[in-house]
Amino acid sequence: MPPELSEELARLHRKCPGRLLTADIVLSAAKNKKSALHKHFDWNDSSAANKFRLDQARLLIRSYTTFTLTTNGLPCEVRGVVSLFSDRSSPGGGYRRMQDVVESRDLMSQCLKTATTELESWCSRYEVLVDFVADVRSVLDQYRPIAPVEVKEKEKRVRRTREPAMA
């Protein structure tokens, strides 16, 4: 993040009631054309509305869930889709059905790589929680690096998801 943005956000944060920075506060400050924040917003209502609708569509997709069976045979609600890093690099990104990922050795390998990278990012973000992050990292280290043979073994342990029939 450019220093001028960091400084502007820090300034706003200091002025916030209870030191709680909200999106409303940032947006309000960004309306000022002299603000370092201003150029980071789309002020054209038409294109901004389309971007907002795309965000709503992504939220709906990410909210899709399905059921799978746990190892003890009980149903468990899980996310029905996943966004792999390889798909995120394509224009518009995209989401894959978790069932398709589980059934493909290549996609499962990509999914595990995406998951470990996201966990590493999470650990970095919460580094101040030293003991907790150390526990998470120790579990993460068990899955890194994942060789193709290991992926195949993990696939065998994953139960197939049951999804409703498409109409």
Domain ranges of the chain: 1-40, 42-162
* 66-121 pLDDT, tens digit each: 988 888 888 889 899 999 998 988 888 899 999 899 889 999 999 988 988 898 89
Token reading at 151: 């992926």
Which band of pLDDT confidence, cut at 50, 70 and 90, is reported for residue 144?
low
**pLDDT score at 93:** 86
CA distance 82 to 154: 17
**pLDDT score at 152:** 45
- Tell me which amino acid residue 108 is: M
- Tell me which amino acid residue 123 is: C
Q: Is the pLDDT of residue 156 over 70?
A: no
- Tell me which amino acid residue 50 is: N
* 19-55 pLDDT, tens digit each: 899 999 999 999 999 999 999 999 999 999 999 999 9
